[in-house]
Amino acid sequence: MKHNTTLKRISQILDMSISTVSRALKDHPDISEKTKKKVLELATALEYEPNTNAINLRTNNSRVFGLIVPYVSHYFYDTFISSVEEECRKNGYSLMILQSWDDPETELNNLKLCRQNRVTGVFACISPSTTDIKAFLKLEELDIPLIFFDKVPDFEACNKVCLADKQAAKIAADVIIRKQKKKALGLFGNAQMSITKKRLDTFIDAFDPNISKTELVKDFALSSDEAYDKTIAYLTAKNIPDTIFCMSDEILIGVMKAVQKLQLKMPENISVITISNGIIPKMYYPEITYAETSGFKLGKLAFTRMMACLSGSTFMQELTVESLLVEGGSI
């Protein structure tokens, strides 16, 4: 059975005090090079690893970030997580990922875990039903920087990194208008979510009768399955739309399942455009035209803001990742 090597064991073997061994491993100037060499060689041979929990307690710095996210296996959040994790690795940090399942009570438990583990900072995406963010703001009182991302609170005095939801919706609407489509179906997500409200309001406003002759029909789908059912209903009724706008990748999956089920060709029989992270649209042929909302870019921006906070930045900022049009052959 392999023993866990400790400072005590090294000190016993070398007949040195624990403090001497500890200072030698830290390359302390009051320890001779000969002693340092002995200690380091034995520590290497015994595969000694420092007790990070003990170090965290002494220094109050874990070099671990907490990341609270609704779901790990999600078309958007997986790329955000990957982006933040990559930056953590480059800069000597680790990442503790905690799923909330969009449940406020689970969020509170996750925040408790972050405090107990003395994390260096927290990235948080709140659930749609979270209205009280006092527990989040308490982190700042403990000198733990907090960066909200994607689903962020309305509260002004906090750091937020967001997607350009309004810009993305306007980009998609402008394409439909420019292509002079006759009737567009806009499928949106949960009407209670701020992200839906932003995209919906901007999309509708773009179809001003004084600017556009496109007839607009809007509806809501809370899942891919519901998006599939509603798309089937609209595409098998009278006066069917010639274009479908999908608010998200989740809705796009349901819409495309329906389009394939009905054996419709894009863009000859139906046009499709979406707001997307960029992965799902490339899975179809022709590729789906989309307004990009990049989780990867958002992760980079969130990490940059976190490092600024750790470097002493005290003012609160709301930063945005700009959207851009990526053209496929679906419209």
- Over residues 167-219, the pLDDT tens digits come to 999 999 999 999 999 999 999 998 888 889 999 999 999 998 888 899 999 99
Helices (H) and strands (E) in the chain, counts: 12, 12
Q: Tell me the two tokens of residue 248.
A: 């998200």
Split at pLDDT 50, 70, 90, the class of 51 is low
Q: What is the CATH number of the domain that holds 225?
A: 3.40.50.2300
Question: pLDDT tens digit string along 96-147?
Answer: 999 999 999 999 999 999 998 889 999 999 988 888 899 998 898 888 999 9
Indicate whether 86 pLDDT > 80. Answer: yes
Cα–Cα distance between 119 and 22 in angstroms, integer?
24
pLDDT of residue 60: 54
Tell me if 57 is assigned to some domain. no
| Section 51-60 average pLDDT | 52
- Are 213 and 253 part of one and the same domain? yes
**Strand-pair partners of 185:** 217, 244
Task: Clarify whether residues 193 and 145 are in a common domain.
Answer: no
Q: Is residue 220 part of a domain?
A: yes
- Residue 102 and residue 211 in one domain: no
All residues at 6 or more sequence positions from 292 whose CB lies less than 8 Å from its CB, including other chains:
168, 276, 277, 278, 323, 324, 325, 326
Within this chain, do residues 305 and 156 fall inside the same structural domain, yes or no?
Answer: yes
* Confidence at residue 292, expressed as pLDDT on a 0 to 100 scale: 97
Same domain, 238 and 224: yes
Name which of 271, 266, 222 is nearest 247 in CA terms: 222
For 262, list phi and psi in degrees, rounded to 5: -85, 0
Which spans in the chain are helix H? Answer: 7-14, 18-25, 33-45, 52-59, 77-90, 104-116, 134-141, 165-178, 194-206, 224-235, 249-261, 295-310
Angle between helices 249-261 and 224-235 (to 10 degrees): 40
How many CA atoms lie within 13 Å of 110's alpha carbon, on the beta-carbon side? 25
- Inside any domain, residue 288: yes
pLDDT score, position 2? 43
- Residues 283 and 309 grouped into a single domain: no
pLDDT at residue 62 greater than cutoff 90:
no
Tell me what percent of the residues of the chain surpass a pLDDT of 70. Answer: 94
Query: Are 133 and 224 contained in the same domain?
Result: no
pLDDT tens track for 266-318 = 999 999 999 999 999 999 999 999 999 999 999 999 999 999 999 988 888 99
Distance of CA 220 to the CA centre of its chain: 23
Per the CB < 8 A criterion, the answer to whether 243 and 255 are in contact is no
Q: What is the mean pLDDT of the chain?
A: 91
26 and 142 part of one domain: no
| 181 and 229 together in one domain | yes
Residue 191 lies in a domain: yes
Q: Is residue 328 part of a domain?
A: no
Number of domains in the chain: 3
pTM of the model: 0.77
User: Are the C-beta atoms of residues 120 and 64 closer than 8 Å to each other?
Assistant: yes
Please tell me whether residues 40 and 13 are part of one structural domain.
Answer: yes
The residue that leads in pLDDT, 31 or 84, is 84
User: Is the bond preceding residue 128 a cis peptide, omega within 30 degrees?
Assistant: no
| Ordered DSSP codes for 270-281 | -EEEEEE-SSGG
Whether 179 maps to a domain, the answer reads yes
Q: Is residue 31 part of a domain?
A: yes
- 2 inside domain: no
- Determine which helix (DSSP H) or strand (DSSP E) holds 161, and give its type and residue range: strand 159-163
Give the per-residue pLDDT at 194. Answer: 80
Specify the pairing of strand 324-326 against strand 146-149: unpaired
Same domain, 133 and 83: yes
Question: Domain of 234?
Answer: 165-292
Q: Based on the domain organization, do 122 and 143 belong to the same domain?
A: yes
* Mean pLDDT to the nearest integer, 256-267: 98
